[in-house]
Amino acid sequence: MGLRKRIYDALHLDQGPLGDVTSLALIEKERLATAEFVVKADGGIVSGIEVVKVVFELVDPKIEFSPLLKDGDSVKKDDVFATVTGPARSVLAGERIALEFLRRMSGIATKTQQFVTAVEGTGATILDTRKVLPGYGELDKQAVRNGGGSNHRTNLSEMGLIKNNHIDVLEGDIAKAIQLFRAAYPNVPLEVEVRNEAELITALVNTPDRILLDNMDNEYTGMAVGIRDEFTNIHGTKIPLEASGNMTLDRVRSVAETGVEYISVGSLTHSVEAFDISLHISFNK
């Protein structure tokens, strides 16, 4: 199902069988309105402007949506970043859906930008995870990109990720897991999660495209980087390392300084703090 259809369905569910009965009862059909999207938060990164454009297109083609900024731009308190003009009933019909897309996506983008800034200069890339809003994951991931981060796999087909459960099925045989995956999907990138030094060495020897160090403390992460670097010096193959688990703004720079190439942060999308945005509406006489 395409994004436009999902947005249409969200609008339809919000309207219910009778539409916005309050506006229909109290606002005459001919009344026009002008509205401004205003930042109420102290500052951050705006994301979702292009989605809101689609929202209002679907509500009523008579609405004119005028963005003043683009997705990924910095904003500060009281900034106006888009305006809407059109039939008052229609503007109100799209208000809540538009705001919630903007609030969620801008919240994700702003938090991502904070993590990206925290690791600046270390060479580490901030990644999201698959812990996204079901059905709208591509919007969560767009917001991460707008905040300066990068996307991990967007779906289960894009990259293989051999995790603890898969390894346990094969009685701990990481080498066999990698070999089985490569035989089945030779052209699909592969990442392997490891839990200890022995699994790390086995993974390195079997050369996946990336190795995941999940829930390791900084000391163990640094040791893993050293083992990988030694392997690279001997064999000439540098396999990128990704750290994950319990990543906070207070901790993330120290993790980046261990030398890992990637840091995935699930909280970017699974614990979203909505970005405070309002729609200020005035009704034309």
Chain centre distance of CA 238: 27
Asked if residues 255 and 125 have their Cβ atoms less than 8 Å apart, the reply is: no
Asked if residues 102 and 37 have their Cβ atoms less than 8 Å apart, the reply is: yes
Hey, which residues are catalytic here?
96, 131, 163, 193, 214
* Paired tokens of 156: 């289960």
Chain centre distance of CA 221: 25
Dihedral of CA atoms 75, 271, 214, 45 in degrees, nearest 10, equals -10
Residue 244: closest CA among 280, 281, 279, 192: 192
Strands 160-162 and 190-194 turn out to be parallel
At which residue do the structure tokens 């979203």 appear? 272
Asked if residues 259 and 211 have their Cβ atoms less than 8 Å apart, the reply is: no
Question: How many C-beta atoms surround the C-beta of residue 70 within 10 A?
Answer: 12
Residue 64: closest CA among 84, 39, 35: 84
Strands 125-127 and 241-244 turn out to be unpaired
Residue 78 falls in which region: left (phi positive, over 0), alpha (psi -120 to 50) or beta:
left
